Amino acid sequence: MKKINTVAIIGVGLIGGAFGMALRKQKLAGRVIGIGRNEKKLKNAVKLGALTEYSLDYWILGEADLVFLATPVVHIEEMLTKIGPYLKAGALVTDGGSTKENIVSAANKYLPLYTYFVGSHPIAGSEKSGVQFSEAGLFNGAVCAVTPDKLTNKIALSKIRNLWKKLGANVVTLSPAEHDKILAATSHLPHFVAAAMEVSVISKNKNLLSLIGKGFKDTTRIAASSPEVWAEIALANKKNVCKSMKEFIRQTIKLEKAIKRGRSKDIVMILKEAKVKREQL
């Protein structure tokens, strides 16, 4: 892969910071410029080795061969309506957002025809946020979804796929619609379930707090994620998220009814199906 002269990262948090660190570690980019509003955070990102420099001014985008949008999802949409005039001809643009239909559609609508957008979603986030948790190996072994649609340029697609592979990710290519449908179930649903469980269970009972085991802790780890980020994701992928939640609620009610009625065989059947499916992962 040819070295990229200048990369611009908008939103230097956990994912944006790790992207910069990984590019630099692998010597895949010359300049890595962070763009944002919080100078202190950007300075810190330079210090941590995620960036070679930073700017508070979007004009610098005109120098970028590759632009990576790594802010929360709603902000990525907003960015896409604004950055068009700054981009240079031939610029490659991608993102790290957790929803893809809304983002790819905004890119198609607002970016100039002489730039190339390819949606990506590296599945490497955690309940932590901020560049202080970034590391160059974050994408190593992680899955990265790349989501072309019929307007996506084939060469740009191939470049973005190769880039993620170079950063160590296992690339899965699928449409924005399929991505959002699947992620609603495999990623968004578990977050909202973990949150509902925390809210329904935890009280100030001292004995309760001391009787929390590993099972509960694992199941609710992601309930510590950023409320604002996940509210945005829920709304950006509303239709699919609600569908997944409804199906999950249906299965939970079914199991609760089997328990209430003392139907041992029905309970075992549901738990067995779950065990078989879990062991396939």
User: What residues numbered 253-272 form the site for a copy of itself, per CB under 8 A?
Assistant: 253-256, 259-260, 262, 264, 267-268, 270-272
Which residues, 116 to 155, sit near a copy of itself by CB under 8 A? 123-126, 143, 145
**DSSP-derived secondary structure for the chain:** -PPEEEEEEES-SHHHHHHHHHHHHTT-EEEEEEE-S-HHHHHHHHHTTS-SEEES-GGGGGG-SEEEE-S-HHHHHHHHHHSGGGPPTT-EEEE--S--HHHHHHHHHHS-TTSEEEEEEEE---S--SGGG--TTTTTT-EEEEE--TTS-HHHHHHHHHHHHHTT-EEEE--HHHHHHHHIIIIIHHHHHHHHHHHHH--S-HHHHHT--HHHHHHHGGGGS-HHHHHHHHHHTHHHHHHHHHHHHHHHHHHHHHHHTT-HHHHHHHHHHHHHHHHH-
Cβ distance to a copy of itself smaller for residue 56 or 274? 274
Size of the site for a copy of itself (CB under 8 A): 91
Cβ distance to a copy of itself smaller for residue 89 or 199? 199
Q: Is 42 in the site for a copy of itself (CB under 8 A)?
A: no
Please identify which residue in 58, 110, 133, 248 interacts with a copy of itself, judged by CB under 8 A.
248
Please identify which residue in 63, 135, 149, 198 interacts with a copy of itself, judged by CB under 8 A.
198
Which residues, 199 to 238, sit near a copy of itself by CB under 8 A? 199-202, 205, 207-228, 230-232, 234-235, 238
Interaction pattern, residues 67-106, with a copy of itself; x per rule: CB under 8 A: ----------------------------------------
In the complex, minimum distance from the CB of residue 241 to a copy of itself, in angstroms, rounded to a whole number: 6
In the complex, minimum distance from the CB of residue 254 to a copy of itself, in angstroms, rounded to a whole number: 8
Please identify which residue in 26, 105, 170, 177 interacts with a copy of itself, judged by CB under 8 A.
170
